[in-house]
Amino acid sequence: MERTFVAIKPDGVKRGLIGRIIQRFEDKSYKIVAIKMMNVTPEIAAKHYEEHFGKPFYPELIDFITSGPIVAMVVEGRNAIKGVRHIVGSTRPDEADVGSIRADFSSYSTTNLVHASDCPDSAEREMHLYFNDNELCENYKTMFELIIDDHGGFKQ
């Protein structure tokens, strides 16, 4: 199983979309193994967006992610990074696939509701930026895991 980091950004929290966004992941049988609402400090924001340091839009990213609470999550499942990013949709909502979170709920590329890690290295770095290992709740099975075996077939 693969894990990835997801954050519902301040605009998603302010618009009351937390439950609807989480439901999209759970509907596709992804498991939430860590979740918390928090205010992102400027220090965490700088580490999160370090690859964009020096770019013209960097200050706007920092200002936005620190403008209100986020909901940080670790999501687990088969091909979680690719699958979660598909559910989230393109960074530009006007280019996102119909049915994705950003296509359905967002209008702007900067305030686009959700962040999802783009690769295994980013997922690992971002998960550890927002969560300690003892905050991961991995010792439970979802209904999907109880019904489906490791090979994708139904248990008997």
Tens-digit pLDDT profile for residues 10-45: 999 999 999 999 999 999 999 999 999 999 999 999
Structural domains of the chain ordered from first start: 2-147 (3.30.70.141)
d(CA 107, CA 59): 20
Contact 126, 48 (CB under 8 A): yes
Catalytic residues: 115
Tens-digit pLDDT profile for residues 37-88: 999 999 999 999 999 999 999 999 999 999 999 999 999 999 999 999 999 9
φ, ψ for residue 77, nearest 5 deg: 165, 180
Average pLDDT over residues 138-150: 69
Where residue 77 falls (left for φ over 0; alpha for ψ -120 to 50; beta otherwise) is: left
What local confidence, expressed as pLDDT, does residue 108 receive? 73
d(CA 64, CA 70): 11
Residue ranges with strand state E in the chain = 2-8, 31-38, 70-77, 114-116
